[in-house]
Structure 1
Amino acid sequence: MVLSVIAFVVINLFAFKFNISYNGEDFKESGSLINSKMPTIVSNRWIVLTTVNQPTKDVKYLATLSKWNVVVVADLKTPKNWTLDRVHFLSVETQKSMSETLNLVRKLPYKSYTRKMIGYLYAIAHGAEWIYDTDDDNRPIFGGLDTFDFADELSGVRFERNHSDPIINRLFNPYLFYGRPDMWPRGFPLEYFSQHNHTDANFRLCEVQKRAAVQQGLVDMDPDVDAIFRLLHANPTKVSSEHFNRHAPSIILGQKMYSPWNSQNTLFHRNAFFTMFLPTTVSFRTTDIWRSYFSQKLLHLIDEYVAFYPVNAVQIRNAHNYLKDFEDEQEVYLKSGELLKFLDEWKCSQNSTANCAIELAEQFG
């Protein structure tokens, strides 16, 4: 199942990337995704999220951002009367009608975070050049989305090591870089944490470098850590209040440098859209981490990069059961290091990026 879904996603994303015009003309003759009742499209920048709640205060805030379109993907538990001005709401019924055009919609399971991919494809079909991936309990702050880089080139810091160095030396811990050596992001290989460090020799100041195709901003208050960290450190009677150094610069990771990143507060340029698929046969707490590692390998093939940015969002996390999170993260704890080694050594035998993505998916599965 996972391989067929990944193949469908890759095919759909490449079809959209190369064949869809800004106003969606290519869809008007057969099963258009465009619904006349949807809000007016204001730009080529899209925010995508999924929810099972009524509009949260954070979603309401996102809907006020005048330069951005917002698409919300429903699931079976999402209230049937969900509505919010300026939001493209894809109800379950709307998604069923989209399945006439997109095979992917029929393949995705319900009660699954991976249905978010329908929102990605909807945005791409409507001319997206940028997709901001987030959740309904995240809110941009400190300049928010404007702190990401949209220009093609920029000056700044780069994380580099010799490509033949051991994996532990080529791992990047954004929480360490932004002032929290006691923390690690969900998906960071735990077997490396106690011996892992960054030194000054890892960093380069570049006068001109290509902007990253994937840009993740750090999140204050309740950042994305794994259940082990929460069980050890969190106070269940209080709202989490973690903070990072927001004066440190953004940083781009060079070729064969790796770090986990998640599906909240993350910006994708269209060059990275083909890497946005979320594996469907792993848990909610695993799918975006596997995507992040998978994506980095594919991006390196086409000379694209991942970057981290100082805090530009805040999360007051929806209620979670830490022990349930721990159970859902088992694969992350046990397989992240092994997965990284596999990806680092993997070489594509195909002659196109799309075929490389499918080949990697098949071997990955």
Structure 2
Amino acid sequence: SLDFRILRYLPYGSYARKNLGYLLAIQCGAQIIFESDDDNLLETNDIYLLPKILQPEQLPWIAFHRQRSPFINIYGSFGHPNIWPRGFPIDEIRNVTEDGWHSVRQNHQNTTHAYIQQYLADLDPDVDAIYRLAHPLSIGRIKFDRDQPPIAIEPFTYSPYNTQNTVTYYEAFWGLYLPVTTTFRVCDIWRGFWVQRLLWDIGGQLIFGTSTVKQIRNSHSYIKDMDDE
């Protein structure tokens, strides 16, 4: 049996029981943790990841927020400015749209510490229930720009990231904890926001890379998902 004290606080059937998997991997000496979902299919037989310390030629772009919002829509930089990721605040959509979806600049940092790396998913990516209800015909047909190089998120710029195709290096293992007091649909999103803020304090950054998996999504109730989100 698993002898972790957190076990007593994890409800049966909760997505947050992934915390046990994190702890077990750490106990076994993991230096890198890759996480995904059971409806994501790898495009190749290998898990793609970048080194944790990157030079500008490996990571040529940095995304930054503009005047009206601290958020950016990373999907816009990978070819889909009219799609937004799950967790993107709905009340920020107008602000980001008016500022311009695509806001990147060249990376002139000597090095980037890419401790957390989020890669995208083709076909049925991680969008929220409102998008799915409003744009049902696009679901299952979405493909991101495979030629877009990885993009770092500038400090004090926020983007939702999830647990569906994500690499975390040892230096950011403290940020793997999934809260148990939120709904299933947002536990990883809330985790991602506070982790990003603390990541900047240790010199780390979140980076996004193009799709390396296809999502063949399990059956969901969009209405229930919307309530949970």
Tell whether the structures are fold-level matches, with TM greater than 0.5: yes
Asked whether the 8 Å contact 1:178–1:244 carries over to 2, the reply is yes
| Mapped pair 1:233 → 2:135 | yes
**Alpha-carbon distance between aligned partners in 2 of 1:118 and 1:325, rounded to the nearest angstrom:** 25
Measure how far apart 1:106 and its partner are.
1.7
Residue of structure 2 in register with 1:282 after alignment: 182
**SS of alignment partner, residue 280 of structure 1:** coil
Asked whether the 8 Å contact 2:63–2:72 carries over to 1, the reply is no
Measure how far apart 1:159 and its partner are.
2.4
| One-letter amino acid of the counterpart of residue 86, structure 2 | R
**Alpha-carbon distance between aligned partners in 1 of 2:109 and 2:196, rounded to the nearest angstrom:** 24
**Alpha-carbon distance between aligned partners in 2 of 1:184 and 1:139, rounded to the nearest angstrom:** 21
1:153 to 54, 58, 80: 54
**SS of alignment partner, residue 244 of structure 1:** coil
| Mapped pair 1:181 → 2:81 | yes
- Among the aligned pairs, what percent are the same residue? 37
Asked whether the 8 Å contact 1:130–1:268 carries over to 2, the reply is yes
Query: Which protein has the bigger helix share?
Result: 1
**Alpha-carbon distance between aligned partners in 2 of 1:218 and 1:142, rounded to the nearest angstrom:** 14
Asked whether the 8 Å contact 2:175–2:191 carries over to 1, the reply is yes
Residue of structure 1 in register with 2:34 after alignment: 132
Asked whether the 8 Å contact 2:41–2:213 carries over to 1, the reply is yes
Residue of structure 1 in register with 2:144 after alignment: 244
Runs (4 or more) in structure 1 with deviation over 3 Å come to none
| One-letter amino acid of the counterpart of residue 98, structure 1 | L
**SS of alignment partner, residue 183 of structure 1:** coil
**Alpha-carbon distance between aligned partners in 1 of 2:214 and 2:64, rounded to the nearest angstrom:** 31
**Alpha-carbon distance between aligned partners in 2 of 1:212 and 1:195, rounded to the nearest angstrom:** 28
**SS of alignment partner, residue 288 of structure 1:** helix
Measure how far apart 1:190 and its partner are.
1.2
Pick 1 or 2: higher relative contact order, CA cutoff 8 A, min separation 6: 2
Aligned length: 224
**Alpha-carbon distance between aligned partners in 2 of 1:104 and 1:113, rounded to the nearest angstrom:** 14
Q: Name the CA shift for 1:302/1:312 in 2 (closer, same or farther; >3 Å).
A: same
RMSD: 2.0
Asked whether the 8 Å contact 2:113–2:203 carries over to 1, the reply is no
Q: Name the CA shift for 1:233/1:198 in 2 (closer, same or farther; >3 Å).
A: closer
| Mapped pair 1:301 → 2:180 | no
Q: Name the CA shift for 1:298/1:210 in 2 (closer, same or farther; >3 Å).
A: same
Measure how far apart 1:157 and its partner are.
2.6
1:118 to 20, 40, 59: 20
Asked whether the 8 Å contact 1:285–1:325 carries over to 2, the reply is yes
Asked whether the 8 Å contact 1:159–1:257 carries over to 2, the reply is no
Residue of structure 2 in register with 1:269 after alignment: 169
**SS of alignment partner, residue 194 of structure 1:** helix
Measure how far apart 1:153 and its partner are.
2.7
| One-letter amino acid of the counterpart of residue 181, structure 2 | T
**SS of alignment partner, residue 256 of structure 1:** coil
Residue of structure 2 in register with 1:316 after alignment: 216
| One-letter amino acid of the counterpart of residue 320, structure 1 | H
Instruction: Please report the TM-score for the alignment, with normalisation by the length of structure 2.
Output: 0.90
| One-letter amino acid of the counterpart of residue 152, structure 1 | I
| One-letter amino acid of the counterpart of residue 218, structure 2 | N
Residue of structure 2 in register with 1:214 after alignment: 116
**Alpha-carbon distance between aligned partners in 2 of 1:262 and 1:217, rounded to the nearest angstrom:** 9
**Alpha-carbon distance between aligned partners in 2 of 1:108 and 1:189, rounded to the nearest angstrom:** 27
Q: Name the CA shift for 1:210/1:295 in 2 (closer, same or farther; >3 Å).
A: same
